[in-house]
Structure 1
Amino acid sequence: MARTRQETAEAVGAAEAAGAGEEAQETGAAPLAPGARLWPALGAVYRAQLSRARVARIPLLFVATFQSVGIMVLMRGVVDGGPGEEARAVVAGSSVLVVAFVALNLLAQYFGQLRASGGLDHYATLPVPPAAVVLGTAGAYASFTVPGTAVTAVTGCLLYGLPLDGLWLLAAVVPLAGAALAGLGAALGLLAPRQELATLCGQLGMSAALLLGVLPAGGLPEPVRLLRDLLPSTYGVEALAAVLGPRPYWDRVALDLGVCAAVGAVALAAAAWAYRRAAVR
């Protein structure tokens, strides 16, 4: 009886396979392979983009780090050292500026160029979820900022006489601020109608991170402070600046990191939607 059931199942499977083959022959199309799952596809895109960025973006990362260190050196002439609010704001803002330069500016340019050159058509033909393309690329660009951010933060702490023991928070600030800025940069690059506008938006976003992130919030006018609150990297800067002081308020640090994570999730979702919108046009 068991042998009979096994033979029956094999016969049914063979008949179904033969029917599928005949249907494919009648329609003239080969059966499609199943689409890739999100996490394996995301890992593949992440590794590919990280390898590409390692070759093509190292000079630009050096420029971003040199730029942030240069800003700290210039601000040292007007800001006193020690654990004051101004010194902590300059060091934290300059460190996150490296993330803004790579994750926001360069990613906006990359997706703008990809859209203008028809590169999105290549990704559209692959069985890869749109979220995997956006998240993998954003994660690669954000990861690429880690060395420059660490060098800038250590240099700033030594230059301004701040303690180094709070820099462990970079392990949370870099991925969260990187996700928010990378999602914003990808959305700007994908939604811009022209490549030149994507480059312009990326430059303006980085300039906003420079002007609003490095300067202390206490001396800014109220309208400018409201614009500063709308910038995703502001909350990462606030969290990092808090732990560079003598007595950080950890509930405020956790709140800033939570806001940064929420903004990052919204920005990445908007970038995935913009990718779908741009890929079908």
Structure 2
Amino acid sequence: MSTAASATPEETAVEDGSVRTSAPRPAPRHDRPAVAPLAPGAGLWPALAAVYRAQLSRARVARIPLLFVATFQSLGIMILMRGVVDGGPGDEARAVVAGSSVLVVAFVALNLLAQYFGQLRASGGLDHYATLPVPPTAVVLGAAGAYASFTVPGVVVTAVAGAVLYQLPLGGLWVLIAVVPLAGAALAGLGAACGLLAPRQELATLCGQLGMSAALLLGVLPADGLPEAVRWTRDLLPSTYGVEALAATFEPSPSWGSVAADLGVCAVVGVVALAVATWAYRRAAVR
């Protein structure tokens, strides 16, 4: 038998005179496709802007009828209370107009946002956001900002109509530029936290309704005529400080220091509420 016939397939003989050398083995082939690296996550501000625009578009389509309901509800309360509260710069008139105006924010930012996040959690919609390369903070802040912004027309209409109806000065209504976002942030953060922490969707809806009812019952009456225990409960509501800040601007000589202090409390409560809502979102998204 010849030498060439005994060579194995792995070792192919190559003759060079009297010297036999083995050809090098071919490099092993891997049929696995190369894994592409994941794209970097979106930054906080671009992601926040994207979520805000998406939520604002959704709210503009689906929530306009509810905004009319919130505005007409506040206008109806002011008209009803006008039969028992005198016009002019009194404590009762200021409380009714300011409380009814902030009630629009409570209805949308607290009540509807609690229902929205409760529905997302119950239907598995949080899984969609969890797959997006956006920070959890952007999801919470974007949704809260969109719902708070959605209340601006109703708050302005209610405040102007109430000031005319109760014969209050209109010169201080520019403070709504601060009241709406700060009170809206506090109430939206509270509503988002309720919706994300509630174990069932029905409980999230109940929490939102109770919060809006508390803002209604405790926000349109001056604190001096309430029992001590009720006044303590009123002080725990974030909307109270937005009501106090707006009511102070209806005075003949507003105390801007008190207005700034009340707005500062709204800002602090808003930061805490949104931080709790972000933590609740992370907790709900991983379950």
Q: TM-score, normalised on structure 1?
A: 0.90
1:82-101 aligned at under 5 Å gives the runs: 82-101=88-107
Count of equivalent residues: 257
Q: Deviation of residue 250 (structure 1)?
A: 1.1
The reply on whether 1:178 has 2:190 as its aligned counterpart is no
Of 235, 239, 245, 1:229 maps to: 235
Of 98, 110, 113, 1:104 maps to: 110
SS of residue paired to 2:267:
helix
Q: TM-score, normalised on structure 2?
A: 0.88
The reply on whether 1:277 has 2:261 as its aligned counterpart is no
Bigger Rg over Cα:
2
The reply on whether 1:74 has 2:80 as its aligned counterpart is yes
For 1:268, the equivalent position in structure 2 comes to 274
Structure 1 segments unaligned to the other structure (5+ residues):
1-24
What is the distance in 2 between the residues matched to 1:254 and 1:183? 21
What is the distance in 1 between the residues matched to 2:124 and 2:162? 42
For 1:244, the equivalent position in structure 2 comes to 250
Q: Deviation of residue 215 (structure 1)?
A: 1.1
For 2:14, the equivalent position in structure 1 comes to none
Q: Deviation of residue 30 (structure 1)?
A: 3.0
SS of residue paired to 2:38:
coil
Paired letter, 1:140: A
Of 249, 257, 281, 2:263 maps to: 257
1:21-46 Cα shifts (integer Å, max 9, x gaps): xxxx9697431110100000000000
Of 69, 79, 101, 1:63 maps to: 69
SS of residue paired to 1:111:
helix
What is the distance in 1 between the residues matched to 2:32 and 2:259? 63
What is the distance in 1 between the residues matched to 2:184 and 2:142? 12
For 1:22, the equivalent position in structure 2 comes to none
Of 194, 198, 221, 1:215 maps to: 221
The reply on whether 1:163 has 2:169 as its aligned counterpart is yes
Percent identity between the aligned chains? 85
SS of residue paired to 2:87:
coil
1:72-117 Cα shifts (integer Å, max 9, x gaps): 0011011100000100000000000000000000000000000000
Paired letter, 1:130: P
Change (3 A) 1:268 1:27: farther
Of 113, 126, 129, 1:123 maps to: 129
What is the distance in 2 between the residues matched to 1:221 and 1:144? 34
For 1:6, the equivalent position in structure 2 comes to none
For 2:3, the equivalent position in structure 1 comes to none
Change (3 A) 1:29 1:280: farther
Of 167, 175, 196, 1:190 maps to: 196
What is the distance in 2 between the residues matched to 1:249 and 1:56? 40
More helix by share: 1
For 2:38, the equivalent position in structure 1 comes to 32
1:130-187 Cα shifts (integer Å, max 9, x gaps): 0000000000000000000000000100100001111100000000000000000000
SS of residue paired to 1:83:
coil
For 2:159, the equivalent position in structure 1 comes to 153
For 1:139, the equivalent position in structure 2 comes to 145
SS of residue paired to 1:193:
coil
What is the distance in 2 between the residues matched to 1:187 and 1:28? 42
For 1:9, the equivalent position in structure 2 comes to none
